[in-house]
Structure 1
Amino acid sequence: MPDVVSEKMILPAGGGAFALSSLTLGIFLNDQPSHRISQGSDRAVHRPLRKHQGWLLPAGSEGVCEYDEDLEFVTVSLDDRLLDEFGLSSGAGFQAIIGDIDPVVLSISLNAAKLGDGGLLYRETMSRALAAQVVQLIKPAPAWHAGIEDRRLRRVLDYIHDNLANDLTLATMADLAAMSSTHFSKAFKKQVGVSPLQYVIGARLDLASVLLRTSRLSVSEIAWRAGYQDMSRFSQHFKRKFAVTPAVYRER
């Protein structure tokens, strides 16, 4: 089965039940002011949709779609294997999107039927571009994004958590946020509640605590993976936060 399956259909007014075996995107090619849809129930809700609006539904979705005019639309289904490459273990379990479609997803999906006209490299590139954008839309935001509205700071937080074992400098973080170091430090503390340095230390110690509970790595290896080159400093910081040494914490 291909990673991406696209179909273009024209259906008479009416509608009917649907059952999706994989994550599927539907894009309307004509206005449907009377469109009604139900998901997981037999009660349809009026959701008018315009041309190039539609829905993104998880695998396993069942329901009813109704409309009072002939419907022309495109469906694009993504295989779980492709989604898994981008960190989504299944196409199920996310909040359905009904209405406006992300512009990048819309553009690629409208051309998905032409993927077979290109070579293998083109098909794989476009399929993965679509999967990456869809996963970005539906994957739950990491816990550290909670309450942070500034996208620049979210980008910095992602960078911190992706690079805890590396040298994290204020200058690098400020550059990533496109701010001066002074402005970045003030903005970060206002939004997050602690300074960038305090946040990095806390994130590193949280990672260390998880590794101590769930792995058999040595304490020195865990310290290194959490970004500490100095064992005494690691032990000092860890005891300050958790009130016990790393070795004692592991034995609990």
Structure 2
Amino acid sequence: MTKARDLANFVSGTNSAIGTTQIDDDAVTNAKIANESITINGSAVNLGGSVTVGETKPTISSISPTVIENTQTSVTIAGTNFVSVPTVEAIGSTGAIVRADEVSFTSSTSIVAKFTLPIDGTYFVRVENNDGNAVRSSSALLTVSDAPAWTTSAGSLGSNAAGSSVSYTVAATNATSFAVQSGSLPGGVSLNTSTGAITGTESGATSETTYSFTIRATDAEGQTADRAFSITITVSINNSGQFN
């Protein structure tokens, strides 16, 4: 906290020497009065002014991760002047304040806070040292959002005859885009990255083949969820369709 005292309250007259004077329990050394001012540690202060002593506020430079889910998650906060062990809070856009479940002091430049934030949204981060000095992030650094959740079961999407039309759709809640993360789709078949539709006319298979692939769903905050699928292409003896 700011510690200040009106110097006029304890200094009277001029040209009086002061060896060591204590202001609110903070030692001020080598103070001398001359021409209605005093010098404190090399800095001139006019009488009737005030002196600020010992204020060291923490700062916040970054956090990691910046996006978390609703379950308890550890967030590393980087900054300066942290004092063991500070209080850490998340402040929502509505003004709701949620105190961290647990805070671990790593150093004066790093602390770890465990948050359980049940409501999706963006949050400012506030750190208060045990001496009362505090800082709130200048912007909402933390986003709480559920990662995409697949609603399409993993595994085989189905079988199609060689040369036939293929049409499937994969879906995940909160997903804004889809991408083939690994593996490959049948020839002539592609994934719509916006809708999750897998469509096309198969081409290229000369024998029964199972195509295995993993699709990644991504949400607006960049959170991802992967799921493995497969499509089997069957080939008849004359290579013109399904053999029965």
TM-score exceeds 0.5 = no
Class of the TM-score when normalised by the shorter of the 2 chains: under 0.3
Larger Rg: 2
TM-score by length of 1: 0.22
TM-score by length of 2: 0.22
Say which structure is richer in helix: 1
